[in-house]
A = this chain, B = another copy of it.
Amino acid sequence: MTTQKEEQFARFAKALAHPTRVLIMNYLVNLNQCCFGDIHAELPIAKATVSQHLKELRTAGLIQGSIEAPKVKYCINMDNWVLAQQLFENFFAQKLKIASCHDS
């Protein structure tokens, strides 16, 4: 069936499968520091929802957070960022052997 690589790839893809989470990732990539409040301020949604999206990104390993009381600082998880980058690069690097279909 599916390989470990495919499972991991799908896990990363799933974490990125929501516009809000993509926005959060883009936001984090372009900052050298930011806390929950900064992220929440960027979004038109309740803080409970923001917290939940952050949790999913954290669970997927794409970000990490540390407590700097009374704030919580978030950032990209370097190791997994690189891993995800490689997985997606490999995925799209595959040479297509297509005799393209018509229609859709």
Residues of A whose CB lies within 8 Å of any CB of B are 1-2, 6-7, 9-10, 13-14, 16-23, 25-26, 29-33, 43-44, 58, 64-67, 73-78, 81, 84-85, 88-89, 91-92, 94-104
Contacts and interface: CB of A to CB of B under 8 A. Distances in A.
Contact of A30 (B14, B75, B94, B99): B94
A92 B94 contact: no
Given A66-B103, A78-B96, 14 more contacts: A1-B43, A2-B20, A6-B23, A6-B26, A7-B19, A10-B16, A10-B19, A13-B14, A13-B17, A13-B22, A14-B18, A32-B98, A32-B99, A75-B101
Contacts of A94: 26, 29-30
Nearest to A104: B64
Contacts of A101: 64-66, 73-75
> From DSSP, what is the main secondary structure of chain A's interface residues?
mixed
Nearest to A2: B19
Nearest to A93: B85
